[in-house]
Structure 1
Amino acid sequence: MKTRGNYNFQDMLVLLLRPHMEEKLDVFTVPGSPDIYPYLVDVTHTERTNGFRGFDLLITLDVRPTVGPHIPVGEDIFITYRISAAGVELKNLEHLKGPNKNEFPPNYQDLLK
């Protein structure tokens, strides 16, 4: 079976990390409102922090959350997680800007904090 390169692994990682991402994105919108579609998430960096075959890893994701019919919630959000035998730990969360309430459709403005 032919694969699409590393996209299979990226998609699996995104699906496994999605609940962690959704939990942290509540700081920008009303809890439970942002949607994270796996095809709007990119793995931008991975790093093995403790050498060859060490199982302590960092992963950085570029996330573009939306509400309603794919209305972007601001600009990119970069999330870095540490993944190890102990589990998943948030290391960094960076939201570049937005969302701007004036740019949201009136019927979705109540979703913003």
Structure 2
Amino acid sequence: MRKKIIIFLILLLMFQIPTNHHAYEDIDITKALVVEPYIPPEKSREELYQDIFITLLLPYIQAEVDKYYEEYLFTSPTVAPYDVIILDAERLNEYRGFDFRLKIELHPYIGPHNDVGLDYITIRVSPTVNVKIEKFEHIRSYELPPNYQDLIKKKLP
């Protein structure tokens, strides 16, 4: 019986499929861990509610964008509601109230959709604080076309 187990283990080790560690060298592990934001199905009730919600938050979002970009541009970039992506939404206080935190992604633009940057905004929504911008993160800047260079006060970071 013991011989059979030893022979079985030897055979198992002999026929083990070799692993190819080199096949994974080109994979960026940070990109593999990024979770794609959830996009609700088109024309669904969920999409409708999300669009209403973003529309209600848009004045707060636009004000924060205005505040950030006024140092860099002579005109304020526009935020389009259809271009706001909810990266994360959470209910705070373990379902004991209506206190929420969202992280959104947006691409403010000038003119016919010349993106000036990629920004993340963290927003808190609750009955007590109403709407509060907790954090504004400028992630990336984009070069404006030559005919929009006169709108630049100072180079974006």
Tell me, yes or no, if structure 1 residue 14 matches structure 2 residue 77: no
Instruction: Indicate the structure with greater strand content.
Output: 1
1:80 aligned counterpart, secondary structure: strand
User: Identity of paired residues, percent?
Assistant: 37
Counterpart selection for 1:28 from 53, 60, 69? 69
Provide the rounded CA distance (Å) in 1 between the counterparts of 2:53 and 2:88.
Answer: 12
Larger Rg: 2
- Residues 79-109 of structure 1, C-alpha deviations (whole Å, 9 max, x = no match): 011101131011111111214xxx3123322
Provide the rounded CA distance (Å) in 1 between the counterparts of 2:121 and 2:136.
Answer: 5
Tell me, yes or no, if structure 1 residue 112 matches structure 2 residue 131: no
Instruction: Indicate the structure with greater helix content.
Output: 2
Tell me, yes or no, if structure 1 residue 49 matches structure 2 residue 92: yes
Provide the rounded CA distance (Å) in 1 between the counterparts of 2:114 and 2:149.
Answer: 11
Structure 1: 5+ residue stretches without partners: none
Structure 2: 5+ residue stretches without partners: 1-42
1:79 is matched with which residue?
Answer: 121
2:33 is matched with which residue?
Answer: none
Larger RCO (CA within 8 A; separation ≥ 6): 1
1:6 aligned counterpart, secondary structure: helix
Matches within 5 A, 1:82-101: 82-86=124-128, 87-99=130-142
- The structure-2 alpha-carbon separation of the partners of 1:35 and 1:64, relative to structure 1 and needing over 3 Å to count, comes to same
